[in-house]
Amino acid sequence: MIDRTEAPEIGDPRQPASRRIFHSKVDTIRPTYGFEDVSLAPGTDTIEPADVDLAQTFCGIELPIPILASAMDAVVDVRMAGALARLGGLAILNLEGVQARYDDPDAVLERIATAADGDLGSLLAEAYQQPIREDLIARRLDEIHAAGSKAAVAATPGAARRFGPFCAEHGADLFLVQSQVSSARHLATEYDPLSLAEFTRYMPIPVAVGNTTNAEAAFALMEQGAAAVFVGVGPGAACTTREVLGIGVPQVTAISDVAAARDAFMAETGRYVPVVADGGMRRGGELAKAIAAGADVLMIGSPLARAEEAPGRGTNWGMAAPSPTLPRGTRIRVGTVGTLERILLGPAHVTDGSENLVGALRQSMAALGARTIRDMQRVEMVYAPSTQTEGKSWQRGR
């Protein structure tokens, strides 16, 4: 706030600025926090890592570990869904990706993974111009079940209206309505927007919704029947929302705000709506911080794209933006480092926390005395941006 209330010179009434207070937007900027800004503080208790219980029921699906694989073409296909299910997690298939457009998506994925940077934009546009086929959706659902996994699928709101009932009829276990920014009320002049309340009411399977960063929006989504709310606008390694659109809230603040809405909704209605932290987590410590901020489940993309089972062949690219004239996200090269089991459960071959992610989460919870996910959500979090560098000068060249 710029205060111009200093007294005018005696006898000079022609100073209007001296009688005004100017309000600047930067006067009320709210501090927000990402994973590197905070740390978890030990308390009075510790427990054995083997006694940590990570299991929960998520939208009617039993999850031994709180891990979802992002609905991205470079991360999830039928093979990946089966591999993750065997380890205790759940993969979400992108209904608007290549798996539902091509009989042989591997050929398209190979072209995208190996294309020169200058050719990528036109190649992606061409790849996603092919129509989505209901027969392929039905086939993928059957294949995912045959691979030993529950079938979870995702689509943008426009496609959800078309494919939601079809997926439910053909055995899908969970439907995720996912967009860059989800709200309880979408305004449009050229078409009739999806009514989430109606959609969740006539869908016979759970409907999760994302993504948001706002407590009031999350509460409204829960009121309209969302079975889970996904949190995160732009934190993912392959996402360009923050750069292209200038939109986003650091993940620790976003998760905490939406978790507050979940707790308030539970207190008012008795219905618990899980919060899913989506994106921005690369190392075990960040998974631990996301749970401590209030998340129930963690959706990760690029860390899983590094697995031998991932369809992206050591690359990953964003999928959220439906605009034909803006980037769909950038292709990043994450490399292939080992099996999905090694990335999630170890043994780790590196010291930077990017492998054995679930083992690190379990160890963090044990050191903090948190036996369950709910216990972990109650641990103390402190503002500590120096924890990443304090005393680590000899590691900087690692």
> Per residue in 221-243, pLDDT tens?
999 999 999 999 866 555 656 66
Q: Quick one: which of 109, 90, 209, 99 has its CA closest to 160? A: 209
Kindly state the average pLDDT of the residues 172-196. Answer: 69
CB-based contacts of 119, cutoff 8 Å, min separation 6: none
Q: pLDDT (tens digit, 9 = 90+) per residue, 320-329? A: 444 454 455 5
CB 92 within 8 A of CB 155: no
Q: What is the mean pLDDT of the chain?
A: 88
Q: What is the pTM of this model?
A: 0.90
Could you list the active site residues? 239, 333
Q: pLDDT (tens digit, 9 = 90+) per residue, 64-114? A: 999 999 999 999 999 999 999 999 999 999 999 999 999 999 999 999 999
Q: What size, in residues, is the chain? A: 398
Q: pLDDT (tens digit, 9 = 90+) per residue, 332-358? A: 899 999 999 999 999 999 999 999 999
CB-based contacts of 67, cutoff 8 Å, min separation 6: 84, 87, 88, 89, 90, 297, 298, 299, 300, 344, 357, 358
